A and B are shown apart, each in its own frame.
Chain A
């Protein structure tokens, strides 16, 4: 018999009383900490929740949030957006993508600009919507510009699987899927130019929610073991985040350094095995993927396996896709923000030259970016 109601799930994990209760416990237990603790939430969804529910204001002075690179739109380099732009300029191409991607400017403009100039660019809610577009436009080539972390990679492969099973001949893929553990290693290993030492600002990680639903918590095993950074996989709701922080503080107070799962109602150690198998069937790791603001990170992105190259838009259109490197805006400090070395208000153009209506940096473009979250919820702009 079912005892759980949707209301429990909507309300239970947002209860203001519970949030206050957890804040009290956090404040009490944080008094026992020997030193201040910086907790990086890797995932942009967490950044959004933390700002929306005002969680930094509930924290004691020795607990600080630092915001990580977990927003698929924020980390997309201009070079890749230019690929999408150029593809959209082909007369016989319908370019299909998800989310905020169409708003992010590359060096030639955004996909939204391309659409305004007459290109056929379409935003879809689900990758499978591309099938309908392809069937309705048999004379066109539909290019799916695939973005996102381990969370959305399985949805792209489900589309690939459908395309092959149904023998659809006019859908092609431009793959931009990236993976979380490699960028976490990069953040720990990278040098902090401001203090001329390795990045020691990150004391602990809040593990991403939806990525972990697919991959399982197992992908973070090496962080407590090899890098001495505890990880607690947390849900998105404010109560989830507060409980995960309490779990991290208790680890420090009890001198433990472990991988724990707070988000047990959805995340297991092994994850969604069917999704993982589908990814393995169609994707392999690319040697390098360039992250906006962070540069090239080895083994941090997926590409289509060569046996499926007839579906690969990057190979099909290799002759027309631009190859030059592009610099980011000089005053934008998105790179430092994505590395957890700066907070959005430290940027000289935050809220002035750069705001959601006229973003210069990717952290402001995406609704999940740290700058956009600060702008919307931070109450920092008069």
Chain B
């Protein structure tokens, strides 16, 4: 179609050595940047006029004012007398509480389902396939509303279901036995964390040694010592109590234990099940991407199955799995903002309330963006680091 166009004769450049191509590039860049600047300037001047017409002051001074909004469910202590700033912090904590636990549980569930899809058991693989198809093809918001309606339809506190002793499921949410965590318990947990860090360093040294002389070294006794025995010793020496607090029904409500509010619980279930369907597909394709020959070779070497999975299959599968997994984690975190639909107060919901109360739309949206960009960058940073660690090293 285009071949019959005669080629234009080469034109002499007006600017000499500085070619036509560079000139054109400069022209396009100036044009696009000019348009972008013009649009932003137009929007900006409109906004300034509108804000002054509505007598809305700009700036983040409102963060120091008393918020006056109630927050039903939070880890941090909060009262309506606190400032907007503190309300935002509480909202961020709520978002993180959903995102972190959601990511962990969705990964576990998704991996199980992804492996099930590859099972030799026909029934298991079919059920896993149906699970994936159904959950992937229904909007998350609809699933979230569905779970929330189901939570509300649960019996009242007095008639709560007790699947296991000490666990209650009612329209007040899920109530679990808990261990009260105070300063002494935190000391013990801190020791365990330190032990974990120390173990990490020691393990690297052990692997380096193995690289030199080829002898495998057992790392688990050191792990046991540092992560379990040492904290246990500290616990005994300090006399820390680990008494479990059992929830009890008193009057119309529960006393003691850990309460997961219905909003939080519904949001968590919806995010976990929805994301696990996507994770299952990622895990499946990752495992399938390992060439058959690798399985055969490992089998031929007579390796134990757990060793084979850990040392041969998973390292290769992970290279395919990790990058798309990162975007699923980011999606889950962003999707937690649907909380606003059922009244769980995450950072988006609190920003929205703030916006309605103060009219500080630009600042509230800027805060949401800042929070999510920070979280996204954090997850990307961590996952990229992990990805670089497991990536194929070609020599």
User: Do the two shown chains form a genuine complex with each other?
Assistant: no
Residues of B within 8 A of A (CB): none
